[in-house]
Structures are given as C-alpha cells and as structure tokens.
Amino acid sequence: MQPHRCTRRELFARASAALAACAGVRVLPALDRAPRLRITNVESFQVRVPATARDPLRRYDYAVTRVHTDGGIVGTSFLGCPRDVLEHWVKPTLVGDDVFAIDRHLKRLQMERGESGVQSWSGVEHAMWDAVGKAVGRPVAQILGGARDRLRVYRTCVFPGKPEQSDVPYETQAKFAVRLKQSGYSGIKVRAWRPRPMDDVDMVGVMRRAVGEDFHIMLDRTAVRPGWVWDYPTALQVCRGLESHRAYWLEEPFDGYDLLGPARLAAEVSILITGGELGNSVYHFLNFLLNKTYDVLQPDTRICGGIWMAKKISVLADSFGVPCIQHGNNSLSIAGYIQAGCAMPNCQWQEIIGGPNLPEEEWEPALKLVRTPHVFPIQDGYVLLPDLPGLGLDVNEDAIREYRVNHA
Amino acid sequence: MLSRRLLLSTGAGLAACARLAAAVKPIRITAVDLYEVSLPVSQTEAEAGVMYRYQVAEVRTDAGVTGYSFAGHPPAALPHLRQLLVGRDLFAVEQLVHDGLYRWGGVEHALWDAIGKVARQPVYKLLGGSRTSVRAYLTCVWKGNPDQSQVPYREQAAMAARIQKAGFKGMKIRAWRPYPLDDAEACAVVKAAVGADFHLMFDRTAHAPEVVGQKVWPYEIGLKVARALQKNGAYWLEEPFARDDFESPARLAREVDILITGGEGYVGLDSFRQCLLHQTYDILQPEGRGSGGIFTVRKVATLAESFHVPVILHGTMGLMLAGWLNATLAIGAPWQEVALITPPLLPQEQWAPALKVLKTTEVFVIRNGELQAPEYPGLGLDLDEEALRRFRV
C-alpha cells in the first residue's frame, strides 16, 4: 500500500481526537481508508510450454500481458498486447494511474485511438481486472454484479482440412458431436462454409441423426467479407433446411456490418439468427438492437474492447430483451470471457473454439502454467466460475519465468 | 473423460495444495433489519427543518461485515426482505435486484456498503467511477404553501446569493406557482442577483402539484413557460408533463433550447429505454433508490451513454446521500442534487445532527461547492455503530 499524505480532514480528525482524549472523552478508531492501487508497469510477452511431441490439437503457445501495481499485486491475462500499442499508448498513459479507473482509461483510448484501437488493449484490460479482483479478493464477475456462477459450454470445432471443411466427411463431424455429448457437453458449432450451401444442411441432418435431439447444433457462416455473402434466397433456403434438422442458430449469414439482411431473415425464420463479433463500440450494438438485426448478440470480449465494454453491451441488449452470448476464444484466453459471461444476466453459453477435441484436452499443456489441478473447472458440460479472485487463474510464476520467450 | 496426464496432474495439484492461492468463499447474508433512528435536536432546530430522523437498513453477513444505508424503508417490509435476502450470496446483486430487491433500493444501498467493506474500496470505484468530486446543486423548498406562492422572488434571490457565496454553482426551485409565468419572473429576479454563471433549474414535478389543486400542464402552457424560462436564463425545466407521457417532453425539447429533464419516477430499465428511443428528455434523472438502486442507476447510465444523453440523479440529502453520491461518482455524472433544502439552511447546517452517529468531523466534505468523493470503503460513512444503537427508536 502506498503511504499517503495527511489530508486536512485527517489532521482535523486527529486534532479533535487529541482534544477529546484530553477532556476524557472516548476516542473512536476510524475505519481504514481505502487502499490505492497505481499501475507501475505493463508488459506483454509470449510463453511456450515445452513438449516432446507437439499435438496439433493442443495449445502450447500463450500470449501473456501483465499489469504490475504498487500494492505488489500483479494482474495477468493470457491475451497479448501489440508492442506499438504497449510502448506508445498503454505505458505512457497508464503507468502511474489508478488500476480501478478502467472506464476512464477506455474512454481515453477510444478518443485517442478510435474504435478500431480498442481491441488492441484488451489483454491489458483483462489484466487490469485481474489486479482489481485480486485487490478486492473476489472474482471479477462478482464485482460486476454476479449474475451466475457457471456457463454452459459449446464447442466450436474447426476440423483439420480445408477451411471451408469440404474435405471433411459428414460422419467425422457427426462422430465428434457424439463424443462431445458423451463427455457431458450439450452443444457444437461448425462452419457453414461448404461451396454448395445445402451440403452443410445435409451434414446437419447426418449429425442430428447421430447425436439425437437433446443436443444444440449451431452453424457459423462467418460472413465478414463482401463477396463471401449469400444472397437472400440462398440464406432462406439454408435456414429452412436447418430448421428441418432442428439446428439452434445460424451465425452471421450476411456481412458482419449489415443491419437489415439478418433482420429480414430473423423475422422470417424460426431458427435464431446471431452475430456481432466484430462490433467494437456500443453504437454498433445499439444499431443491431434498433434494427432488430440479430436474435442473439455476440460481442467478443477481446475485440469489443474488454470485459467492461462487454458488460455495457450486455446491459444494452438486456434492456431490449435480447440475449448476449459472447463470441469465444480458447484455453487460458477465455479467463476474462468467463468472468464477463458470469456477470451477464442474458448470457447462457460460453463458446470455446478449437479442433475436434475436448476443451480440457486442448488446454492440457496450460496445466504447467497454473497451480490448480484444472485450467478451468468443467462440470456436466458447464464451465464453473473459478472460486479464485480476479480472473480466476492461480498462475504458476516459476513456470511463466521458465517458459517466457519474448515480447508478444 | 480424464486422461492419464490429467489424473496425474490432479494428484500433483492436491500435493501442492498449500501453495495454492486462497479460494474465495461465498459471503452469505445472515440478517437484515429495518429501523428508525432519531437524533437529538432542539425544538427550534426541528422546526427550522434540521434533519434528524432516518430509516436505517442494515445487512449483516457471515464475513463479519455489516452494511448500512440511511435510505431505508418502513419495517413492514422486513418479512419480505428476510425471505429474499437471508442465506443469499452478498455479491449476487444482479440476481437479487431481479428477484425483487429493486422495490427496496435503500436495502440495495446497504448491500453495496457491505460489498465495499469486504472489498475495502469505495462503491463508486468498484462500479467504474474515478472522479474525485462532483458539483452539487441545492433544491430549495420554502416552508408554507407547497406552490411557493407565498415566497417573494427577492427571498429566492437572497437564498441563491447565499448558496453562491457558500461556493455552490446551482440551485433548483419549484415551478408550481398558480400563474405559471410567475416562476419565469422569479427566474429573472434570481438570475439578476447571481449572474450568468450560476445555474438555476426549475422543477414542475409532473403530477405532484395536484396536492395544491393543479393539473399537469397542457402542452401550450409548458411551451410558454419553457420559452419564458429560457429567455430569463434558466438552465433546465424538469418534468413539465406527465411521467408516462414520453412524447410531449420530446416535442418541447425539440421546440426550445432550454434543457428538458426527467425520469425520477421510473423503476427498472424499460421506461428509461422508452425515453431514450422517444428522445423524451435532454437529461435523464433516475432516482438513486426508487429506480431500483445503485446497480440500476449504473445500468441506466450505460444505456444513456449509448444515446449520448447525460444522466444526473434525482437527489436526496443527509446520511441518505451516501448511496446517491456513490452512484453519481460511479457514472461520472456532472451534478449531484442535494434536496430538499429548507431555506435559509445550508446542507451542512441541515444535516448537522448526523455527526452524532459518525466518527468523522463532517458528514460529507464539500469544497468550492463540490461534494468530495468519500475515501472510506463501502458507501464511505465512518459510522459509530454504538451511537446508532443508542438513537434507535
């Protein structure tokens, strides 16, 4: 804790206490003033967990961002911060300032670096929240209102092969869905990128027959680029097909910034139309809501500018009665996502992105970087809010030192 | 399915148990209490309007921390509140507000006081605030007829000058006089006394003038008054029309430049969202307690921010102010209303008896008309709990 100078108020209180003592009056002990926490340094680097054979379905490389404070508390996130932003904005702006003032720092970043600048600092923002949570002794989700203590997990699976998955047999995808279900998970998301759109519908039919009814199947068109976008009749035909196989949602069928196309589709079909992962200001999401663009908003807690921004977007969506189910990430990087999600009354799922394996298999190498027996506690297909302060990771400092590679 | 590797590391993890970071235990609410305190004052002080009675809300926890609010509710609510709160997680504010706590915003304040004390941080900092002070404006209501028709304009001007001399930058008075343009004349007289830099606000208070036999203004009256107030230099006109009328204030706000404000009567987010969609008000004024509490105000500010609409809380005074001030600082609002002031008293004079339950020498520190951010954990009141028990009714 930083020593503080005596204020006029304290001097006065002490003087009156002394006077009272002289007069034989009971002197009351005052509450301790709130400790201050100032940022002393921010660093970002890479760690590489060693392995004899590197399994392509497991993750060995991690970006780390650390926020050091004068209280001795260090906040850690497993999201990187680009060197340019770190050296030319983060350090000159944040060092010496209050780690709690995240809203003020974010507004300054928006002003000085614009909307597109906000995603570059998210590693720092998550690490600041880790420091705040540690200072306070509570999980970040609880500081933000503690809406829930677990999130249902769905696995987003990109199979090895061509990005559009056209060389992946339907049966391979179906078999993996069955494995997920047998392992306790209740949802899968796969790409709807095949060159003939109805092929993805057929694949969902195969998957549905294999996995049974009580399992959520989501499709992601990821149509973030013009030229890649379906025309409306195609999208409608795909949705009708997906409806017949009782798929749960179709994500980003049109351009990521298109307000009206998804709205038209959402009004016409019963399957949920979702999107929003590219949004990096509350105004993007406000426009989605005003235009009824999506049935479910999917801010990304890194891209949108961090945990605080994600929480704001959730409040906005909630006031319109719209679910806010975050876009995902993987392994240690989802620590901040879990905290944000558990602070949202309208977020039921946590997406964990990876290959055809279970989340705990993918992040198994990360066990070397934490001191807990698991990376994140998983139970019955839910990820539990860790019962640790901050972002909920008990980071193994020795391992971080040992495996540190360089700047991210 | 657990891999061999996972199983092994689980074993290793158990062995290394002692090195692990301390697990966070849930903090449970063990008791809630509502009671009244009456602080000793002379009859003269009481008649002058000095504040000496408070409804206290007390929330006890199994962490040994107790949260207090002086914006409590009558004890009749206790059975409901016990059922709602006892045994629940202190930090589950979102869920508790949803489950019904929004009806008892004062108890929500006490919850935040406990949360801040557990966290050893002021509540406003936990909720994203980083301002160190906020300008206060004083809402003055003279004793006697609520419509203030008995108060000479020059007396209102004298009070404004007194407030200005004490460092404050703004005052709000009622726009309740039977002949509405009289209030615009009062505006001219007050502004002539205090000059252009002092903010003067007017409050029509929607349907409240019904107590003096008045009706909600027709639109044309509201327009006339707003134009006259604007001409005479008023800063804003508050709640010129009914609270469920989202359209007329919007129409007025489009037609005049003086700010049209409102929102104190709304509970939860929906009406605020309606206001924002209808562009009903230039400034939203959620109630610090009635809206649902501090957490709801924080949400309203988040909505309003995305519509570029400022939020300034509907106010209160004395020890009650602790919760409002934390909400104000959390959202970075430009003003804190202090209400109701009974002229000629100033806030520090009116809330002086509260010092009897505090260990500090001031209730709230005011410097140059700005309320200073509390430096103590929770809502920032350093309470003498023994004295509190002594004055319990």
Domain count, chain B: 2
Residue A7, pLDDT above cutoff 90: no
Structural tokens at position A217: 């199947």
Asked if B281 and B248 count as a contact pair (C-beta separation under 8 A), the reply is: no
Cβ contact (<8 Å) for B95 and A315?
no
> If you average pLDDT over every residue of chain B, what do you get?
94
Domain boundary among B72, B96, B121: B121
Contact B286, B299 (CB under 8 A): no
Question: Same structural domain for residues B94 and B173?
Answer: no
Q: What pLDDT sits at residue A117?
A: 87
The whole-angstrom separation of Cα B221 and Cα B240 is: 9
For position A225, what pLDDT does the model report?
67
- Domain boundary among the residues B89, B121, B153 is at B121
Residue B169 and residue B309 in one domain: yes
Residue B292, beta-bridge partner list: none
Neighbours of B1 (CB within 10 A): 10
**Which residue of B lies nearest to A389 if distances are taken between CA atoms?**
B24
pLDDT tens, A187-206? Answer: 999 999 999 999 999 999 99
Q: Search chain A and give the residue with CA nearest B22.
A: A388
Q: How far apart are the first and last CA of chain B?
A: 62
Verify that A224 and A92 share a domain, yes or no: no
Residue A245, pLDDT > 50, answer yes
With respect to residue A31, please indicate whether it lies within any of the assigned structural domains. Answer: no
Same domain, yes or no: A160 and A295: yes
Chain B: closest CA distance from residue A121 (Å): 17
Domain match, B145 and B276 both: yes
Q: What residue has token string 């009814």? A: A213
**Option in B130, B307, B375 nearest A101 (CB):** B130
Whether B137 and B271 map to the same domain: the answer is yes
- In this complex, do B384 and A28 lie within 8 Å of one another by their Cβ atoms? yes
Specify the range with the lowest mean pLDDT, choosing from A22-31, A368-377, B113-122.
A22-31
Tokens for B93?
A: 């504010």
Is A314:A325 a contact under the CB 8 Å cutoff?
no
Q: Is residue A4 part of a domain?
A: no
Residue A33 domain flag: no
The 3-class SS string of B230-277 reads HHCCCCEEECCCCCCCCCHHHHHHHHCCCEEEECCCCCCCHHHHHHHH
Inter-chain touch A372–B20, beta carbons under 8 Å: yes
Burial bucket for residue B379 (CB in 10 Å: 0-12, 13-18, 19+)? buried
Secondary structure (3-state) at B67: strand
Beta carbons of A380 and A153 less than 8 angstroms apart: no
Do A55 and A201 sit in the same domain of this protein? Answer: no
Residue A50: the pLDDT is: 94
Predicted pLDDT of residue A30: 58
First to last CA, chain A: 30
| Residues B101 and B198 placed together within one structural domain of the fold | no
Parallel, antiparallel, or unpaired for β B53-61 and A216-220? unpaired
Boundary residue ending a domain (B91, B121, B151): B121
Q: Is the pLDDT of residue B38 over 70?
A: yes
Write down the H helix ranges in chain B.
4-15, 43-48, 78-85, 93-98, 105-119, 123-126, 153-165, 181-194, 219-231, 248-255, 270-278, 294-306, 321-331, 347-350, 385-390
* Domain co-membership, B102 together with B38: yes
Domain that holds residue A119: 39-138+399-407
Looking up residue A88, the CATH number of its domain turns out to be 3.30.390.10
Query: What residues in A contact B356, CB-CB < 8 Å?
Result: none
- A61 and A149 inside one domain: no
Q: Name the closest residue on chain A to residue B373, using Cα atoms.
A: A34
Residues B338 and B295 reside in one and the same domain? yes
The dihedrals phi and psi of A113, each to the nearest 5 degrees, come to -120, -5
Both A106 and A176 in a single domain? no
| Tens-place pLDDT, residues B55-108 | 999 999 999 999 999 999 999 999 999 999 999 999 999 999 999 999 999 999
Whether residue A138 is predicted with pLDDT greater than 80 in this model: the reply is: yes
Q: Is residue A207 part of a domain?
A: yes
Check whether residue A240 and residue A255 sit in a common domain. Answer: yes
Examine the domain organization and report whether A187 and A329 are in the same domain. yes
Q: Is the pLDDT of residue B13 over 50?
A: no
Residues B143 and B222 in one domain: yes
Give the number of other CB atoms < 10 A from CB of residue A36: 18
Split into its structural domains, chain A has a count of 2
What is the band of A20 on the pLDDT scale with cuts at 50, 70, 90?
A: very low
CA-based torsion, A253, A256, A259, A260: positive or negative: negative
pLDDT digits (tens, 9 = 90+) for A206-220: 999 999 999 999 999
Which domain does B111 fall in, by range? 29-121
Q: How many Cα atoms are found within 13 Å in the side-chain-facing hemisphere of A350?
A: 32
Letter for the amino acid at A80?
G
Are B40 and B102 part of one and the same domain? Answer: yes
Contacts of A384 (CB under 8 A, 6+ apart): A149, A150, A376, A377, A378
Contact A31 B120 (CB under 8 A): no
- In chain B, which residues have their Cβ closer than 8 Å to the Cβ of A360? 6
Asked whether residue B11 is domain-assigned, the answer is no
Chain B residues in contact with A34 by the CB 8 A cut-off are 120-122, 125, 375-377
> How much is the pLDDT for A35?
79
Q: What is the mean pLDDT of residues A295-321?
A: 97
User: For residue range B252-289, what is the model confidence (pLDDT) as tens digits?
Assistant: 999 999 999 999 999 999 999 999 999 999 999 999 99
Interface test with A, best of B306, B364, B371 (most A CBs within 10 A): B306
Q: What is the mean pLDDT of residues B346-351?
A: 97
Domain harbouring A183, CATH code: 3.20.20.120
On whether the CB atoms of residues B376 and A31 are closer than 8 A, the answer is: yes
Query: Which positions in chain B touch A143 (Cβ < 8 Å)?
Result: 91, 119, 126
Q: Is residue A186 part of a domain?
A: yes
DSSP secondary structure of B127-143: TT---SEEEEEEEE--S
**A72 and A60 belong to one structural domain:** yes
The DSSP letter of residue B333 is -
Residue A179 to residue B353: CA distance in whole angstroms: 69
Same domain, A211 and A302: yes
Q: Is residue A11 part of a domain?
A: no
> Does residue A316 sit in the same domain as residue A189?
yes
In a domain, B349, yes or no: yes
List, for residues A100-131, the tens digit of each pLDDT value.
999 999 999 999 998 888 999 999 999 999 99
Segment B154-163, tens digit of pLDDT: 999 999 999 9
Please check the confidence at residue A23 and state whether its pLDDT lies above 60.
no
* pLDDT value for B16: 41
Structural domain contains residue B15: no
**Rounded to an integer, what is the distance from CA A168 to the centroid of its chain?**
29
3-state secondary structure of A47: strand
Say yes or no: B167 and B57 in one domain. no
Sign of the CA dihedral running A247, A253, A259, A262: negative
Confidence of residue B325 (pLDDT cuts 50, 70, 90): very high
